[in-house]
A and B are shown apart, each in its own frame.
Chain A
Amino acid sequence: MWLTETDLEAIWLTLRLAAVTTLILFVVGTPVAWWLARTRSRWKGPIGAVVALPLVLPPSVLGFYLLVAMGPNGPVGQLTQTLGIGLLPFTFWGLVVASVFYSFPFMVQPVQNAFEGIGDRPLEAAATLRASPLDRFFSVALPLALPGFVTAGILTFAHTVGEFGVVLMIGGNIPGVTRVASVQIYDYVEALEYGNAHRLAAVMLVFSFLVLLALYVWNPGAKKR
């Protein structure tokens, strides 16, 4: 095996983080996307902008605020301490929370676009066919938006894998706990271990390419009607 034990640990941690984040975002992001797609509220603009913030914000800025919020004196930190969970920074779950914020737009925007693409008509048709609002969502909106969900899932997963700045701010560099692949590569480069960095970087490169390849080959938009 040409990857070291710590490399494998870092890769495994990265995949775990990305998978958990994606799953959480499916649950959390979908209602937000649905609301943004359907609402006529004047809050649509502001909320949409907040959701999109991580796209333009430097990861260190987002990480800094999250660190402050989840720290011992921050509101989230005090809440987690009262609940007996302890402090989130420098833990795996701290990373998960940060990643959820960081990857939020990558989940919400494709799903929102997919919901908007459905239009009112199929949902109205379902209503005249006796489907309740919740029923309409699951039996019509979800199946019709499925391509959007696949895109969103792949993008969220890949984006979380590629995370670096936020991880460094929130998680630091604890082997097996918060040291993900991107941080590991950074470590190698700092230590001038270019050989190790090359190997892991190549793995990341191939992985990223395969994900994008999957996204472009499995292109549901190609036979849109």
Chain B
Amino acid sequence: MNETQANTNTAAAAAAAAGAETGMRSQIEARFRVAWPGFTLDVDERLPARGVTALFGHSGSGKTTLLRCIAGLEHAAVGRLSFKGSVWQDAKTWVPTHRRPIGYVFQEASLFPHLTVLGNLRYGQRRSRGGSASDSLGKSSDSDSNSLGKPNASNSLGKRALAITESSADTDTDTDTDTDTDTDTDTDTDTDTDTGSVTDRFSLEQAIELLGIGHLLQRKPAALSGGERQRVGIARALAVNPRLLLMDEPLAALDLKRKQEILPYLERLHDELEIPVLYVSHSPDEVARLADHILVMDEGRVLASGPLNETLSRLDLPIRLGEDAGVVLDGQVAERDEQWHLLRVACCGASLWTRDSGAEIGAHVRLRILARDVSITRDPGHASSIQNTLPATILSLGDDSHPALRLVKLEISGSPVLARVTRRSADQLDLAPRQLVYAQIKAVALL
């Protein structure tokens, strides 16, 4: 659609448009204005079309509305939306939801109660054009031999999934699956060539395996726990082979235990897929664990947007985060101290000791350092219970949520870290930008 528009322009404009378009290839450009009684959404943002972008804010901040606008579930009267260069909405264009290559996970799984888990998974998979990149579950034997012949990354995933589904097919032979098998046979031929890499092609088996729901396929949604239902909801969204995954607080309706049950699956999603994800959340914890980029929203407007750590370490935002102000750093497990049950994590050119979480040596981990767990000293000499004392440079000082407190932005070998100190101690230590100090990090959370 946008190609034809470009053609009508003059040559110069067309060239400019083409240039802009290549930049846009990796972007989601979203501009929406929605005015409802008592609520206005006014957003004009470019989001990266890769990695996990958290839409973060309190309830009522407009993050869900923004997500629904992107999905086409909400029709913003004034808006422009393009995804990797293809226009989904502008003054002349409106691509309805069912034609957008998205997957959507609702806060409550919203499974179809009249279908089994497998029926739910198949619902979208069948309808996604060219997205039937999966061998049907029923004829496991010949799809298994197919995948054996292919030296690609999907093999291990595919085979494990097949093992699961085979065993489940043995135990209950539902009439549903039998009839379904027949209808799927004709799609078999073109899917073989299509299997591709794990990252851009997604099969039902992979979705089932990734979310660990192989044993639930014949059940009705009413017979699932909340956590299981949400896992099925996520798998169902993945099974349509989306180019963009939209998740609306997928964990908000679950209790803490269920959250812990699902978070590892979301982290796997993050690690194993290259589908860009927009993840709505009001939980700093989820954002710290999952997000690469963050868009902070309040009252229908965007307060800040950018790479996670760069944004989290901004001094004008932590006020909004309150107790959760802090940074997230990437690190690698370097050493295990068996005697003291500690792990050494190499992070940003320094070493941090933390409680042994059981992570393997060499594993890539995320570290979360809250501002309240970082204190500042000018003299590292005397004994302290704090294990991590690192040289740091003060970058800037800012106000905190309480007048008694200040936030100090430090740099530890190139990475920004926030420290929360009292205004009095900042004064007594005479803290100022570019000063060399020592950061004492009391706690580091491995995510």
CB–CB A128/B104 < 8 A? yes
A128–B234 CA distance with the chains assembled, in angstroms: 12
Q: Do A129 and B124 form a contact, CB below 8 Å, given A121-B106, A124-B73?
A: yes
Closest beta carbon of chain B to A143's beta carbon, Å: 5
CB–CB B73/A127 < 8 A? yes
Q: Which residues of B contact A219 (CB under 8 A)?
A: none
Closest beta carbon of chain B to A78's beta carbon, Å: 43
Closest beta carbon of chain A to B223's beta carbon, Å: 11
Residues of A near any B CB (own CB < 8 A): 121-122, 124-133, 135-136, 139-140, 143-144, 225
CB–CB A122/B112 < 8 A? yes
27 contacts between A and B (CB under 8 A): A121-B106, A121-B108, A122-B110, A124-B73, A124-B104, A124-B106, A125-B104, A125-B106, A127-B72, A127-B96, A128-B103, A128-B246, A129-B98, A129-B124, A129-B236, A130-B98, A130-B128, A130-B240, A131-B123, A131-B124, A131-B127, A132-B98, A133-B98, A136-B98, A143-B114, A144-B113, A144-B114
For the complex, is B294 an interface residue (Cβ under 8 Å from A)?
no
A67–B123 CA distance with the chains assembled, in angstroms: 50
CB–CB B112/A225 < 8 A? no
Closest to A146 in B: B114
Task: Name the interface size band of chain B.
Answer: 20 to 34
Closest beta carbon of chain A to B248's beta carbon, Å: 11
Given A129-B98, A129-B236, 8 more pairs with CB closer than 8 A:
A125-B110, A126-B112, A127-B97, A128-B98, A128-B246, A130-B129, A135-B127, A140-B112
A73–B73 CA distance with the chains assembled, in angstroms: 51
* Residues of B259-286 whose CB lies within 8 A of A: none
Which of A122, A127, A128, A225 has most chain B Cβ within 10 Å? Answer: A128
Find B237's partner among A128, A133, A139 (CB 8 Å cutoff): A128
For the complex, is B222 an interface residue (Cβ under 8 Å from A)?
yes
Q: Do A129 and B106 form a contact, CB below 8 Å, given A140-B112, A225-B222?
A: no
For the complex, is B71 an interface residue (Cβ under 8 Å from A)?
yes
A125–B123 CA distance with the chains assembled, in angstroms: 10
Q: Mark interface residues in B98-142 (1 if CB within 8 Å of A CB, else 0).
A: 110011101010111110000000011001110100000000000
Q: Mark interface residues in B64-85 (1 if CB within 8 Å of A CB, else 0).
A: 0000000111000000000000
